[in-house]
Amino acid sequence: MAVVKIRHAQFMFYVEQPHTGPDGEDQIRLSRRIALKGEIVDIPRDEDMSRGEEAGAFEDEDVELPPDDDAAEDADAANAAAAAGTPDINASHDELVNWIQEAKPNEDAMVEAAQNDPDMANALMAAENEASGGDPRKGVMTRLKALT
């Protein structure tokens, strides 16, 4: 494995992915990836590293993978939701909208907030719709609709 910065317009490499074959046996399949110029990537296979080095596809500087911003954002959102708690079953529409906007609860937190109450699920769907500016998260709406 090597972390490199791509010099060429693009560089193709492969990563191993688990795969279940038609006979039900676990196998490894190579999955193609394409890295673009300036992108920092981790190239796991020696064959791809050798090919890239021969072609001069990598910058000569030492680089590290940037932190995974999505994971950090997900953790921040989960922490905020936990800190904000779940809304009271008798919360007003505005309180629910504020809770969704501030706590940014994930699907599981929204379903938990409904407490298996169809009326609360409907109130949360209305609040989700308003909090999202009319573009509610499909997963949230689907799971809350199942409770009504």
- The ranges assigned to domains in the chain are 2-55, 69-145
Does residue 74 carry a pLDDT above 80? no
Residue 5 and residue 38 in contact, taking contact as beta carbons nearer than 8 Å: yes
Is-above-0.85 flag for pTM?
Answer: no
Q: Which of 54-68, 101-115, 122-136 shows the lowest mean pLDDT across its residues?
A: 54-68
Q: Residues near 69 by Cβ (< 8 Å), separated by ≥ 6?
A: none
SS3 74: helix
pLDDT digit string, tens, across residues 96-127: 999 999 888 998 889 888 888 899 999 999 99
Q: Give the β-pairing of 40-43 and 2-5.
A: antiparallel
Q: Residues near 132 by Cβ (< 8 Å), separated by ≥ 6?
A: 100
